[in-house]
Amino acid sequence: MNGIKALLNYLGLSGRNSNPFQCIPCQRVVNENVRAEELFDLYQLGTFHAPDSFLVTLSGSHDQQVVYENVELVVLQPQSRYRPHYHRHSAAVIYIVSGKGTFRLCNTDEEYYPGKRILIPAGLLHGFNTDTLTLFLSIQSPPILNRESGSVDLYYENEVKHEPTCDR
Nearest to 105 by CA among 39, 160, 164, 154: 164
Separation between Cα atoms, residue 23 and residue 79, nearest integer Å: 27
- What predicted TM-score, i.e. pTM, was given to this entire model? 0.72
Q: Hey, where are the domains in the chain?
A: 3-156
pLDDT of residue 144: 83
- For the chain, the average pLDDT equals 76
pLDDT tens digits for 6-65? 655 655 555 555 555 565 555 555 555 555 556 667 677 777 777 677 666 666 665 554
Say which CATH superfamily domain 3-156 falls into.
Jelly Rolls (2.60.120.10)
Q: How far is CA 101 from CA 2, 5, 37, 132, in A?
A: 17, 20, 16, 7
CB proximity list for 113: less than 8 A, separation 6 or greater: 96, 99, 100
